[in-house]
Structure 1
């Protein structure tokens, strides 16, 4: 990391700080890992990282909603098809995946804000 460049909590370790050399390229690489592999086929997303960030944000938000819906219905949908311990393991997977997706969404939003030109300033309490 560059000295004197502040990145807020939640900034992804894989993305260089804004204004550092090749930071946008590192953001594109990281964002492409957050979306389905087919998104790599669209050159426009590499050429316009803000568009990629927007699509990644929307994709992850949809995944969060899908995980919440899946969690709510898993026990009922699976109880006749899986043993109780397996149903609980599925629910546990949702319990872990949901917070991971929320953290990912927050990181994507930070990167998108930086791509749009926002500068982060450390706030002291």
Structure 2
């Protein structure tokens, strides 16, 4: 069964999401995905009822967040000194952005494996 490849033991599988095939796993996936998108999107009934759409939106949202943080990281050393910020603050800012970038990449990998599991579940349910 293909679903056995998705496991909370997988380093990319989010701990907030139950194992596929377990009771309420899709609901736990939707709940986690809603936390990744701006709150107003989590209130759209269509996105709440269709976890694959929600996962797709979360993927797009994360791609944009990654671009924003990457830009902030790459421009910090050149632009922040002009603000009069002390070098130590600039260094901490760069470390913060680097850590955030790593975290966003980890979350994006989690969204990808959850999306794959949701798609597999949908295919199994529809006999594909």
TM range (shorter): 0.7 to 0.9
Match of 2:104, SS state, is helix
TM-score w.r.t. structure 1 length?
0.86
Q: Deviations over 1:3-59 (max 9, x none)?
A: xx5513310111001111110000000011111222122111111000000000111
Runs of 5+ consecutive residues of structure 2 not aligned to the other structure: 122-128
Distance in 2 separating the partners of 1:50 and 1:95: 29
Q: Deviations over 1:58-116 (max 9, x none)?
A: 11111111111111111222112111111111101011101100000000000000000
CA RMSD across the alignment: 1.6
Distance in 2 separating the partners of 1:92 and 1:9: 23
Q: Which residue of 33, 36, 39 corresponds with 2:38?
A: 36
| Residue in structure 2 matched with residue 67 of structure 1 by the alignment | 69
Aligned residues: 115
Distance in 2 separating the partners of 1:9 and 1:86: 32
1:90 matched to 2:90: no
Which structure 1 residue ranges, 4+ long, deviate > 6 Å from structure 2?
none
